Amino acid sequence: GVSLPSRWAIFKTICPNPNLLFRVDVLDKENRYSSSYILDQRKKILGKSLSISYQNPLTIVRGQGQYLIDCDGQKYIDTVNNVAHVGHEHPSVVKAGSTQMGILNTNTRYLNREIVAYAEELLKTLPPELTVIHFVNSGSEANELAMRMAKAYTKQRDMIALEMGYHGNTQGCIDISSYKFNGKGGAGKPAFTEIVPLPDSFRGIYKGENTGSNYASHVQVAIEHIHTQGRGIAGFIAESIVSCGGQIPLPSGYLKEAFQYVRNAGGVCIVDEVQVGFGRVGKHFWGFELHDVVPDIVTMGKPIGNGHPLGAIACTEAVAAAFANGMEFFNTFGGNPVSCAIGAEVLNIIQREQLQQNALHLGDYLTTNFNGMKNEFSILKDVRGEGLFLGLEFNDDNLNPLTETTSFIANKMKDHKILMSVDGPFNNVIKIKPPMCFDKDNADYLLESLRTVLKQIMNK
């Protein structure tokens, strides 16, 4: 409360370090686990393909609600973390997990109420056609299992996925994630994957209003391509707002038509709700509900356990029956009582704290204000998304992506104590997907800070 962390060195020359008395580990700059030591050790003893945010990385020591706190006690508004859905370290989630951990944590081969109670609650949020739940430990596992189900149901193996889609880190998921296999280090498209164009009505191959049918027609083309090779389609997978593609909302009618083509060809329709599910889109609990469709399989991850490793797959009776072909599905941790107690509490909190409504109101509020800023700051060319899942695209007047400027904005926003992430094919989209307890004051501060940063960039 008396000085900035950046003045640490100056004060150290004139005043003894009070932490010699208090001995709070994380405040001790000279302790073994200083930020520079952690960074060096990460480079030395952890996998080299781990990435780290920001030119000057943050050492985060605590989370609380919509805030992350660094080792200097600086508090940041977190607009990146859609995993801490109901808020970082929400006390009720912590309590539910620790209480159950003190009672029982075992696998699904014994009868126990937690898994059934939780599956019942989860099913209540879904359309009546989806009646069966399988539990796993991550979004990747959920999509991996969804593909196994689609393959078991159809006895085919070809998958259709969206350009710039990302569905997880397993081999099977990478094989359908063009974001990865066409990105740095990727080995290109595998033979059993068809990629259809990203249905981006702002920058994609069809622009403007009513592009749904045009984009969906490529799904039919992909199916025909599979057929000409003498094979059939197992499944089609899409997010209802394409996150890694740069927060791309699917055009109206797209999913409905795509599903029709896929089902006519005997395939299974999978919607990946790992990023957008659980009320984040505001108008609905699930993103696919924006499109008036019912998938055969819905996959869930990230927010489902508020940071606890949990994933789930909801599917129809028919898909579940085809998957139950005699081979046991055993998952050591999936569906354990601790995970289920946590998942159930997350659902409770979403309801109790009216977080879906909050996403709707604040999403509208932010979108209106961002749209207003488009006139003032010409580099802000598109504002899109639903609820608290928004994207801001920065381009020059010829629609050339302003990649460096976008990264500069994210780094400047960090100086304003707001954490934001950048994504999209050209890394020119700022994504906004905060914990759902993000409030009106946070929104106002974000708008004010962004305005300051943009003024600075545009010399206003």
Choose between 243 and 442: whose C-beta lies nearer to ligand PMP: 243
| Residue 168 binds ligand PMP, judged by CB under 6 A | yes
Rounded least distance, CB 240 to ligand PMP, Å: 10
Point out the residue whose Cβ comes nearest to ligand PMP: 139
Nearer to ligand PMP, 138 or 428 (CB): 138
- For ligand PMP, which is the closer residue by CB, 71 or 195? 195
Stretch that binds ligand PMP, among 8-16, 161-169, 224-232, 428-436 (CB under 6 A): 161-169
- Taking CB under 6 A as the criterion, the residue among 274, 300, 338, 349 binding ligand PMP is 274
CB of 363 to ligand PMP, least distance (A): 19
Q: Smallest distance from the beta carbon of 173 to ligand PMP, in angstroms?
A: 7
Binds ligand PMP (CB under 6 A): choice among 175, 194, 257, 272:
272
Nearer to ligand PMP, 90 or 180 (CB): 180
Give the residue, chosen from 34, 169, 182, 354, that forms a contact with ligand PMP under the rule CB under 6 A: 169
What is the nearest approach in angstroms of ligand PMP to the Cβ of residue 313? 12
> What x/- string results for residues 231 through 250 when contact with ligand PMP is judged by CB under 6 A?
--------x---x-------
Comparing CB distances to ligand PMP, the nearer of 168 and 435 is: 168
Comparison of 176 and 344: residue with beta carbon closer to ligand PMP? 176
Q: Which of 65, 87, 139, 235 binds ligand PMP (CB under 6 A)?
A: 139
Q: Which residues of 229-239 are buried (b: 16+ CB within 10 A; e: fewer)?
A: eeebbbbbbbb
Would you say 70 or 144 has its CB closer to ligand PMP? 144
When asked if residue 275 is in the footprint of ligand PMP (CB under 6 A), the reply is: yes
Q: 118 vs 166, which CB is nearer to ligand PMP?
A: 166
Nearer to ligand PMP among residue 139 and residue 199 (C-beta): 139
- What is the edge-to-edge ordering of all strands in the sheet holding 389-394? 380-386, 389-394, 429-432, 421-423
Q: Which stretch binds ligand PMP (CB under 6 A): 166-174, 203-211, 336-344, 449-457?
A: 166-174
Cα 148 from Cα 153, distance rounded (Å): 9
Q: How far is the CB of 59 from ligand PMP (least distance, A)?
A: 22
- For ligand PMP, which is the closer residue by CB, 78 or 239? 239
Contacts by residues 178-185 (CB-CB < 8 Å, ≥ 24 positions apart): 179/244, 179/245, 185/49
389 binds ligand PMP (CB under 6 A): no
- Binding-site size for ligand PMP (CB under 6 A) equals 15
270 binds ligand PMP (CB under 6 A): no
Q: Does 301 bind ligand PMP (CB under 6 A)?
A: yes
Segment contacting ligand PMP by CB under 6 A, of 136-144, 154-162, 334-342, 429-437: 136-144
- What are the C-alpha distances in Å from 382 to residues 177, 367, 379? 25, 10, 9
> For ligand PMP, what does the binding mask look like between residues 318 and 337, x meaning CB under 6 A?
--------------------
Beta strands 248-249 and 241-242: pairing type? Answer: antiparallel
The residue from 100, 143, 211, 214 that contacts ligand PMP (CB under 6 A) is: 143
Q: How far is CA 256 from CA 13, 125, 215, 295, in A?
A: 67, 21, 12, 10
Binders of ligand PMP among residues 68 to 107 (CB under 6 A) are none
Hey, what amino acid is at 393? Answer: E
> Of the candidates 88, 90, 151, 167, which one interacts with ligand PMP according to CB under 6 A?
167
Are 430 and 406 within 8 A, CB to CB? yes
Cα end-to-end span (Å), the chain: 33
Q: Which of residues 79 and 140 has its CB atom nearest to ligand PMP in the complex?
A: 140
Residues that bind ligand PMP (CB under 6 A): 138-140, 143, 166-169, 239, 243, 272, 274-275, 301-302
